[in-house]
Amino acid sequence: MFRSARTILMTLVTALAVTVPAVPATAVPATAGPPPGIVNVAHRGASAHAPENTIEALLLAARQGADMVEFDVRETRDHALILMHDTTLARTTDVESVHPGRAPWRVADFTLDEIRELDAGSWFGSAFRGTRVPTLREALRAMSRTRLGLLVEIKTPRLHPGIERRAAVELRRSWDGPLVVQSFDWDAMRAFHRLMPDVPVGLLGTPSPGELRGLAAFAGQINPPYRDLTRDYVRAVQALGMQVFTWTTDDPGVMRRLGSYRVDGILTNWPHVLARL
């Protein structure tokens, strides 16, 4: 079902969207941008314009010129996989008013049915009132209608033993497009690689140059915060056959600098800005 890591990622690099959505001329300075071939990754969807980790944000990313969307996966009390960044539901839903007596409102303390009751859009804006927290399966089905690839982050696997296996089952069942799975937990990514060896895994963070060779045995990407990057570090990662997807910037000047380092992908909340560049 899945192509090799190199085929998947090189396909994304060589098939970047050529239709760039219109944005105001003042949104991006008129200067040289990054070189062609940088994968435009919408961070939690087009999260500057729609509530993060919702179907609305994911689909908007496609309209804003993204090549991939990144989203976060957590597990509920009854082992359902949902899109949610934080350990708790408080920041991006109305859980405090719906369930006032259940602080600190951890995702892992609620069932999927309880989470389906919550409004995950009003915090962002009244236009998104009634938006729901999607399951992983719902997100995969929605994204299958686009041509975008997915960068799926598994959050805090140590809090959810077995989440790697459950995510692998759902991805096999519901997704047949370009895919990378990433986490800050490198041991979990080693385990996921054993489950789905044809799917590239990304390691979030900035391993030392001395660690890179060992990590290249199973990792397809090293994905550091952009402030940690230097041109030499990017070259060291790429020399071992891995890619660098860096996060997260909305600044055109920073995007241009990262482009000069020849990074492979940039995560941004403003995919239309990177598309314009």
The pLDDT, as a whole number, for residue 36 is 55
Token readout for 274 is: 């990177």
- The span from the CA of 199 to the CA of 181, in Å, is 7
Annotated catalytic residue, options 43, 49, 160, 193: 43
Q: What is the CATH number of domain 5-87+135-276?
A: 3.20.20.190
- The span from the CA of 76 to the CA of 249, in Å, is 30
85 in catalytic set: yes
The pLDDT, as a whole number, for residue 24 is 32
| Strands 221-223 vs 243-246: parallel, antiparallel or unpaired | parallel
Q: What is the mean pLDDT of residues 266-276?
A: 97
Hunting for tokens 């492979």 — which residue is that? 264
* Structure-model confidence comparison of residues 33 and 244, the more confident one: 244
- The span from the CA of 205 to the CA of 200, in Å, is 16
Q: What is the mean pLDDT of residues 138-145?
A: 97
Q: What is the mean pLDDT of residues 152-174?
A: 97
Where along the chain do its domains lie?
Answer: 5-87+135-276
Annotated catalytic residue, options 49, 79, 85, 193: 85
pLDDT higher than threshold 50 for residue 75: yes
Cβ proximity of 47 and 269 under 8 Å: yes
CA 97 vs CA 103, 113, 132, 148: distances in Å: 11, 16, 16, 36
**pTM score of the predicted model:** 0.88
Condensed to tens digits (0 to 9), the pLDDT of residues 211-236 reads: 999 999 999 999 999 999 999 999 99
- The span from the CA of 222 to the CA of 200, in Å, is 11
pLDDT higher than threshold 50 for residue 15: no
| Residue 2 banded pLDDT, cuts 50, 70, 90 | very low
Q: Provide the mean pLDDT of the chain.
A: 90
Q: What is the mean pLDDT of residues 158-186?
A: 97
Q: What is the mean pLDDT of residues 5-16?
A: 46
pLDDT higher than threshold 90 for residue 181: yes
Condensed to tens digits (0 to 9), the pLDDT of residues 24-66 reads: 322 333 233 344 589 999 999 999 999 999 999 999 999 999 9
The pLDDT, as a whole number, for residue 3 is 42
Which residues touch 183 (CB under 8 Å, ≥6 apart)? Answer: 153, 154, 155, 157, 189, 192, 201, 202, 203, 204
Q: Which amino acid is at 212?
A: L
- The span from the CA of 192 to the CA of 165, in Å, is 7
The pLDDT, as a whole number, for residue 159 is 93
Q: What are the start-end ranges of the E strands in the chain? A: 39-43, 68-75, 81-83, 149-154, 179-183, 201-204, 221-223, 243-246, 265-268
The pLDDT, as a whole number, for residue 25 is 28
272 in catalytic set: no
The pLDDT, as a whole number, for residue 12 is 53
CA 86 vs CA 71, 105, 123, 213: distances in Å: 12, 11, 15, 32
Handedness of CA 80, 83, 205, 104 (dihedral sign): negative
| Residue 23 banded pLDDT, cuts 50, 70, 90 | very low
User: From its phi and psi, is residue 276 left (phi > 0), alpha (psi between -120 and 50) or beta?
Assistant: alpha
Q: What is the mean pLDDT of residues 119-125?
A: 98
